[in-house]
Structure 1
Amino acid sequence: MGGALLVAGTTSDAGKSVLVAGLCRWLARRGLRVAPFKAQNMSNNSVVTPDGGEIGRAQALQAAAAGLEPSVRFNPVLLKPGGDRSSQVVVLGRAIGEVTALSYRQRKAELARTVHETLDGLRRDFDAVVCEGAGSPTEINLRANDIANMGLARAAGMPVLVVGDIDRGGVFAHLFGTLALLDPADQALVAGFVINKFRGDPALLEPGLRQLRALTGRPVHGVLPWREELWLDAEDSLSYAADGVVGRPRPPRGRQWLRVAVIRLPRISNATDVEALAAEPGVAVRFATEPSRLADADLVVVPGSKATVSDLDWLRRTGLAEAVRAHAARGLPVLGICGGFQMLSRRIDDPVESAAGEVPGLGLLDVDIAFAPDKTLARPTGAAFGHAVAGYEIHHGQVVRRGDRLVPLVELPGSAPEGVVSGGVAGTHWHGLFENDDFRRAFLRWAAERAGRDGFVPAPDVAFAAARAAQLDLLGDLVEQHLDTDAVLRLLDEGAPAGLPALPPGAPPLEP
């Protein structure tokens, strides 16, 4: 069996996903066959695997870090929230139904078997498996049925690294408290800590690191510095800047900026679609939650949604629906992606996702949408704006009628076209279109022309795949330079050290 370890976090967004990606990159560069694994992810950011399954986007990024294609084995259970109390359950890439928080507990035993069998298979096939926990391992109200954190670590006998985000403040309390809330058998697997997003002189941390080791009997295996350029493939839209800005906007190559407003829907899915736009010099991408943020936008994007009808109702209640219509009425470009495309239609018939039946869309595109019971999962190719494109599809809604005067967005070989363009309004079910460099530049030229931004010039040299690969390499570098990599290798080879103390140990006095 290959070695395995679990990266747990003191909170959501503490750095689990990026640390796992960095460890996978570093191990792969050492020549090891390494695979990522997340037993249970809760996210509406997902991708389609080559065999037609669906997994969390973070695990696809971690697979890329390991030099692998995404696989349903890397994320056997995916929960896609469609409301505050219900989620769609995807098991080994296929949706099996909807659950509430309470009904999901009843399925945990069955899902645990799937999780453990999948992890065992990976450990047989790979030299190392780096597992990512979910949320915090100290959700003590959920511990009895846990399959993603300490429950997984106990079942597999895996050592655990706990990562905390120092940029949020209180990292020592988070790390100590996480350990202290675990029962002794769980504590015995926690082998050490990692501190993430540190700004400043590491020497300032040294007294705290020594005291944390004295209090817990466990070392801090590394302090990862804050790096401004790490922002691609955020786990969810809330990971972006507080002001809603996506990425690190760079000065334009021409005389003008192109300003993009992306509506942050309550159940937004695949928010990462717009990250390739934000990687372009002179393109300023910002999420918007109220109408005034659309007032100075050149391009408005209505992104994907896991709850199309509900989020459409939210658009109307917030005034954003009228703001989108007004933007289009001025001849300015609007793009709908997946659920956003469906919202731009004339009519939506949804007996599946919301059970709302027939509801009017925004009426900006002359198409009708009907939801099918089976989800479309595909990785198609075609041509758009004169360039070869590839993308992926994850949706229940289907175009059942399209107006005769609509122009296809994507031409598909041997089948009906995909998506539509009508004046300055476009829609598509495809995710990932902007990752196609030539298409992205052509689309930006089209949007700039519609918006009257003659001084905007798309950069001819931005390669999005290379930008993502550079970020993965940077993560591997951070692991190599700032983690005790010898200790990590020992954990993979030998498991958690024996004799780790349980808390409270009769803590020694703090140093002055």
Structure 2
Amino acid sequence: MAHGLLVAGTTSDAGKSVVTAGICRALSRRGLTVAPYKAQNMSNNSMVTIDPETGEGAEIGRAQWIQAVAARATPEPAMNPVLLKPGSDRRSHVVVLGQPAGTLEAGEFAGGRNHLAEAAFAALDDLRNRFDVVVCEGAGSAAEINLRAHDYVNMGLAQHGSLPTILVGDIDRGGVFASMYGTLALLDAADQQLVRGFVINKFRGDVTLLKPGLDSLRALTGRPVLGVLPWQRDLWLDSEDSLALTSRPSHDGDGALTIAVVMLPRVSNFTDVDALCLEPDVRVRFVDDPRALAGADVVIVPGTRATLADLAWLRSRGLDAAIVGHVRRGGVVLGICGGFQMLGGEIVDPHGVEGTPGARDHGLGLLDVRTEFGRSKVLRLPAASALGAEATGYQIHHGRICAGGDDEFLGGARRGNVFGTMWHGTLEGDALRTAWLREVAVAVGREVHTGAVDFAAQREARLDLLADMIDEHIGVDVLLSTMGDHPTLPTLTGALA
């Protein structure tokens, strides 16, 4: 069976996803076949893969998709066998091996997931039979002791696969040594044996200043700090967590175009705006207050996993009126998937896909469309042309659109300065993004210089930079040695029985 490694964390957003992506690319550059894996994501940021034999679409977490790109592997459902998509604070929609599989209530989270664990373990075993190395990413903290009895994502996964584990901690948050020691100490003795070492992430400054702490952590735990990764502003990647939105780069100067992206409570596929963040003549802001729309040339209403609930939220904050007023003043609006549905007319949920059967509401009336949620989910990788450019994207939605008299636009509609599309990812295409920005610039009377950004090349450059950091500050040989050895390690005093 293939080598395996679990990249666990002391907290959420410690950098597990980017470290995993960097390890995948570094190992791939050594000529190994590598697969990323995450047993369970809780995220509304996902991607579509297509089965080459059946042509059917499947849905996986966006982070595992970009990790597969890093590994130079074809993304597939086994890389993220369980995806939980929060529809509210107490209810998640479940995706198993790429397909919808009901819902999970908060009260079921601890003990109602045995069937999900079985699917996750089987997927890991399958990947390990087909690849040289499987690099697994944990979820949240490795020391979620309230969930350990039914855990299949962190140390439960490590036990199943006898996976050597490294703990990643974010020093930028402060308290990294305490979080690493404390995480290890909270694990039971058997789980502690699988933890081989630590990785400190996002360090700024002279690494020699850390040496006393590194030495003390090793003396206290019997485990080394395998590497200290430097903080890099431009290392953001396709993420699973909306916490990462605030780390998206954007140009703070007097950009020719200002784009305000509405931060919906259940925002999904927020990577749709990543390519805009790289444009030198575009400034992107993330907003949740109507006053923040002042001065914006463009408003983007992104996707959401809870269209009706987020529409109600939009109204409760006065953002609906602010968006309508923005259009009346000559501004541009782009709605994507659920955001597009909000810009239209009636929205109906006869089967309770988002919650209550028969729920309905009316959108902002800026586009002549009606939305009805179907039981089955649309999962596609469409292609077409728009604005004189070739365009591609991906579709993940239950909502079916019935369009009226507006112009067609990428599976959606357009009326003047209001654009709506059911396709995610279209702005990652350089030709379509350039054409749309030029159209927007004309509409608002601005000048925009476009065509200089190669988004795919910049993504590849970031993946290679990540791999360079892994090579320099940890080392592929160190990782391979960590995956190959099985030492007997000290158990911290006070560990759980």
Common fold by TM > 0.5: yes
1:364 and 1:135 mapped to 2: Cα distance?
40
Displacement after TM superposition at 1:445 (Å): 0.9
**Contact (CA 8 Å) 1:88, 1:99: kept in 2 or not?**
yes
Query: 2:175: which partner in 1?
Result: 170
2:445 and 2:345 mapped to 1: Cα distance?
28
Give the secondary-structure state (helix, strand or coil) at the position aligned to 2:284. Answer: strand
Structure 1: 5+ residue stretches without partners: 411-417, 507-512
Amino-acid identity (%): 55
Displacement after TM superposition at 1:357 (Å): 2.1
Query: 1:195: which partner in 2?
Result: 200
Give the secondary-structure state (helix, strand or coil) at the position aligned to 2:129. Answer: helix
Paired AA for residue 46 in structure 2: S
1:299 and 1:505 mapped to 2: Cα distance?
56
1:99 and 1:237 mapped to 2: Cα distance?
21
Q: Does 1:77 align with 2:82?
A: yes
Paired AA for residue 380 in structure 1: P
Paired residues, what number?
487
**Contact (CA 8 Å) 1:379, 1:392: kept in 2 or not?**
yes
1:81 and 1:121 mapped to 2: Cα distance?
28
Query: 2:354: which partner in 1?
Result: 353
Q: Does 1:229 align with 2:222?
A: no
Displacement after TM superposition at 1:240 (Å): 3.0
Within a 5 Å distance, the mapping from 1:71-470 to structure 2 comes to: 71-241=76-246, 246-249=248-251, 257-351=256-350, 352-355=353-356, 357-400=359-402, 402-404=403-405, 406-410=406-410, 418-453=411-446, 455-458=447-450, 460-470=451-461
Give the secondary-structure state (helix, strand or coil) at the position aligned to 1:503. Answer: coil
Paired AA for residue 425 in structure 2: G
Over residues 458-507 of structure 1, what are the superposed CA-to-partner deviations in whole Å (9 max), with x where a residue is unaligned? Answer: 2x22111011000000010000000043221012233xx3220111289x
More displaced 10-residue stretch of structure 1: 146-155 or 476-485:
476-485
More displaced 10-residue stretch of structure 1: 111-120 or 264-273:
111-120
Distance 1:482 1:473, change over 3 A: same
Displacement after TM superposition at 1:384 (Å): 1.1
Give the secondary-structure state (helix, strand or coil) at the position aligned to 2:438. Answer: helix
**Contact (CA 8 Å) 2:250, 2:284: kept in 1 or not?**
no
Paired AA for residue 60 in structure 2: I
**Contact (CA 8 Å) 1:215, 1:505: kept in 2 or not?**
no
**Contact (CA 8 Å) 2:333, 2:417: kept in 1 or not?**
yes
Paired AA for residue 162 in structure 2: G
Paired AA for residue 384 in structure 1: A
Paired AA for residue 448 in structure 2: F
Displacement after TM superposition at 1:345 (Å): 0.8
Structure 2: 5+ residue stretches without partners: 52-56
Give the secondary-structure state (helix, strand or coil) at the position aligned to 1:125. Answer: coil
Displacement after TM superposition at 1:251 (Å): 6.3
Q: Does 1:22 align with 2:22?
A: yes
Among 461, 477, 480, the residue aligned to 2:468: 477
2:489 and 2:109 mapped to 1: Cα distance?
34
**Contact (CA 8 Å) 1:246, 1:286: kept in 2 or not?**
no
Paired AA for residue 29 in structure 1: R
Displacement after TM superposition at 1:231 (Å): 2.0
Paired AA for residue 95 in structure 1: P
Query: 2:54: which partner in 1?
Result: none
**Contact (CA 8 Å) 2:7, 2:135: kept in 1 or not?**
yes
**Contact (CA 8 Å) 1:303, 1:338: kept in 2 or not?**
yes
Among 501, 504, 512, the residue aligned to 2:490: 501
Give the secondary-structure state (helix, strand or coil) at the position aligned to 2:239. Answer: coil
Structure 1 stretches of 4+ with a deviation exceeding 3 A read: 104-107
1:361 and 1:350 mapped to 2: Cα distance?
13
**Contact (CA 8 Å) 2:18, 2:237: kept in 1 or not?**
no
1:377 and 1:274 mapped to 2: Cα distance?
20
Displacement after TM superposition at 1:354 (Å): 3.0
Over residues 347-402 of structure 1, what are the superposed CA-to-partner deviations in whole Å (9 max), with x where a residue is unaligned? Answer: 101132132522111111011110101111111111111111110000011112x2
Paired AA for residue 97 in structure 2: L
**Contact (CA 8 Å) 2:26, 2:476: kept in 1 or not?**
no
1:498 and 1:492 mapped to 2: Cα distance?
11
| TM-score of the two chains, using structure 2 as the length reference | 0.96
**Contact (CA 8 Å) 1:251, 1:282: kept in 2 or not?**
no
| TM-score of the two chains, using structure 1 as the length reference | 0.93
1:388 and 1:99 mapped to 2: Cα distance?
39
Among 490, 494, 500, the residue aligned to 2:481: 490
Query: 1:413: which partner in 2?
Result: none
Displacement after TM superposition at 1:334 (Å): 0.3
**Contact (CA 8 Å) 1:237, 1:264: kept in 2 or not?**
no
**Contact (CA 8 Å) 1:376, 1:394: kept in 2 or not?**
yes
**Contact (CA 8 Å) 2:91, 2:105: kept in 1 or not?**
yes
Displacement after TM superposition at 1:104 (Å): 3.8
